[in-house]
């Protein structure tokens, strides 16, 4: 019998967040219990609206979406990344408007409640700045003991950052929050730019989404047109990195990892040129990464094969509308 794993998703719904959400909805081993939004690509409230609209488009409007932190721990939100994700975070695409009545809980409160309702089994996928997770830790310091694993899209181990020479956006937007979250005693999987920039979605994959049977897949293909234009300046062709959906696939253990050592990781939360850097202790690489006593952060550096086909096949081949029946069958 298939094991269904409960998930809480924390996101700042831009284009790659939308891909990650679609991937989770199309994965039969995932039961998405709740979603919290945080400022990052867009403001937290805009991210929540985008998320609800996408859930409605997917036919799964009942998943609770809680608005989280608008500002970061040490500085105000500065407007996001419209040059990357478009003015509304989803490539300028207009979606049918879902019910945007705010959820009664904050994202941190929703996470804590779900953790107590699913002790030892709830998994967190965090694909935006870690502000909400830090707030949840401050509200409930025992939270790590209730969580099976937290998977974080963020950081850069051996490659440059994408908002500064050393800082990746999710970590660099709120280094104080990232420092607290990575220091907490839970099982962490970090999915940095090392692996997300090495796995690229090409134009052929976008065309497959555009030709799909489901409205959600076709809409994702439309969004990617904007995303690709940004990445043309990085890769020199119409394509994109797959940051958040790759983290989602790793969280659900759907892809094989070639290099993923468990090591010590710290975040530079100072105010010099290293601010936002994830300092990964990779000194054991020539010995095959021997055990580092006390380390609890698995850093994914390489996959065994390319990810793009798996992503598009999952989104196109398993429709969100069938998720409820699959969950019922698995629990029967």
The pTM assigned to this predicted structure is 0.93
Which of 205, 243, 268, 310 is catalytic? The answer is: 243
pLDDT of 326:
38
Q: Would you call 163 exposed, middle or buried from its count of C-beta atoms within 10 A (0-12, 13-18, 19+)?
A: middle
Q: What ranges in 38-99 are assigned the alpha helix state H?
A: 44-58, 82-85
pLDDT score, position 323 = 42
CA atoms within 13 A on the CB side of 39: 15
Which DSSP letter does residue 272 get?
A: S
Distance CA 172, CA 27 (A): 30
Q: Looking at 10, 12, 53, 244, which residue is catalytic?
A: 12
Phi and psi dihedrals of 84, rounded to 5? -95, -45
What's the number of domains the chain is made of? 1
Residue 332: its pLDDT value, please?
36
85 is catalytic: no
DSSP letter at 287? Answer: G
Cα(10)–Cα(110) distance, integer angstroms:
11
- CATH code assigned at 132: 3.90.245.10
Helix axes 203-210, 215-235, angle to 10 degrees: 160
Q: Can you point out the beta strands (E) in the chain?
A: 5-11, 30-37, 65-67, 122-126, 147-153, 188-191, 200-202, 239-241, 257-259, 262-263, 265-267, 278-280, 297-299, 302-303
CA 101 to chain centre: 24
The angle at the Cα of 26, spanning 325 to 223, to the nearest 5 degrees, equals: 140
CA nearest neighbour of 37 among 126, 160, 141, 167: 126
Tell me which residue range forms the domain holding 142. 5-331
Owner of token pair 């629990």: 331
The values of phi and psi at residue 245, to 5°, are -65, -30
pLDDT tens for each residue of the chain, 332 residues long:
578 999 999 999 999 999 999 999 999 999 999 999 999 999 999 999 999 999 999 999 999 999 999 999 999 999 999 999 999 999 999 998 888 787 999 999 999 999 999 999 999 999 999 999 999 999 999 999 999 999 999 999 999 999 999 999 999 999 999 999 999 999 999 999 999 999 999 999 999 999 999 999 999 999 999 999 999 999 999 999 999 999 999 999 999 999 999 999 999 999 999 999 999 999 999 999 999 999 999 999 999 999 999 999 999 984 433 444 433 433 33
Q: Give the separation between CA 324 and CA 25, rounded to whole angstroms.
A: 10
What is the per-residue pLDDT for 1? 57
Which two three-digit tokens encode residue 41? 């690509």
Strand partners, 200: 241
Instruction: Reply yes or no on whether 243 is catalytic.
Output: yes
Q: What is the pLDDT of residue 56?
A: 95
Which tokens go with 283? 């000194």
Question: Which residues touch 33 (CB under 8 Å, ≥6 apart)?
Answer: 6, 7, 8, 63, 64, 114, 118, 122
List, in sequence order, every residue forming a beta bridge with 67; answer none if it has no partner: 37
SS3 content of the chain, % helix, strand, coil (to 5): 40, 15, 40
């Amino acid at each position: 019998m298939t094991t269904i794993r409960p998930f809480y998703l924390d996101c700042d719904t831009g284009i790659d967040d939308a891909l990650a959400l679609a991937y989770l909805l199309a994965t039969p081993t995932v039961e998405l219990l709740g979603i919290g939004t945080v400022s990052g690509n867009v403001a937290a409230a805009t991210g929540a609206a985008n998320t609800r609209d996408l859930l409605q488009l997917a036919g799964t409007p009942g998943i609770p979406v809680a608005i989280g932190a608008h500002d970061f721990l040490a500085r105000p939100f500065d407007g996001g990344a419209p040059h990357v994700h478009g003015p509304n975070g989803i490539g300028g695409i207009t979606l049918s408007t879902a019910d945007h009545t705010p959820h009664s809980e904050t994202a941190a409160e929703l996470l804590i409640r779900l953790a107590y309702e699913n002790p030892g089994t709830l998994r967190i996928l965090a694909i935006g700045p870690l502000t909400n997770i830090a707030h949840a830790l401050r509200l409930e310091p025992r939270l790590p003991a209730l969580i099976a694993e937290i998977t974080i899209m963020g950081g850069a181990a051996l490659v440059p950052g994408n908002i500064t020479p050393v800082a990746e956006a999710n970590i660099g937007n709120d280094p104080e929050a990232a420092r607290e979250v990575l220091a907490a005693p839970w099982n962490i999987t970090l999915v940095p730019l090392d692996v997300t920039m090495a796995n690229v979605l090409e134009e052929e994959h976008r065309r497959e989404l555009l030709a799909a049977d489901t409205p959600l897949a076709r809409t994702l293909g439309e969004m990617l047109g904007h995303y690709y234009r940004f990445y043309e300046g990085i890769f020199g062709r119409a394509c994109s990195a797959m940051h958040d959906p790759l983290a989602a696939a790793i969280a659900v253990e759907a892809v094989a990892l070639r290099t993923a050592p468990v090591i010590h990781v710290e975040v530079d939360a100072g105010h010099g040129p290293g601010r936002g850097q994830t300092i990964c202790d990779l000194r054991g690489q020539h010995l095959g990464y021997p055990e580092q006593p006390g380390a609890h952060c698995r850093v994914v550096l390489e996959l065994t094969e390319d990810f793009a086909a798996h992503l598009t096949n999952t989104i196109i081949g398993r429709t969100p509308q069938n998720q409820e029946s699959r969950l019922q069958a698995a629990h029967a």
